[in-house]
Amino acid sequence: MSAFENKTPETIVPTDVDALIGRTENQRLEFKETINDVTSYELAKDLGSFANADGGYIVVGASRIR
């Protein structure tokens, strides 16, 4: 999952994010339809998982298509 490999935030384009949509959530990928109802505990778990996996992505404003 290297959609953003060697990219800085200002060079990420919508097609880079689109490449993540439809993938299965795992220890390096998490989808959030909104962050309004995400608890700090849930966010800490996600970030901890990313730290243990040497990085990851939280895609806000999307849900995994089933």
Q: pLDDT band at 18, cuts 50/70/90?
A: confident
Place of tokens 């959609």: 3
pTM of the predicted model, to two decimals? 0.67
First to last CA, the chain: 19
Give the separation between CA 58 and CA 55, rounded to whole angstroms: 10
pLDDT at 39: 92
The ranges assigned to domains in the chain are 9-60
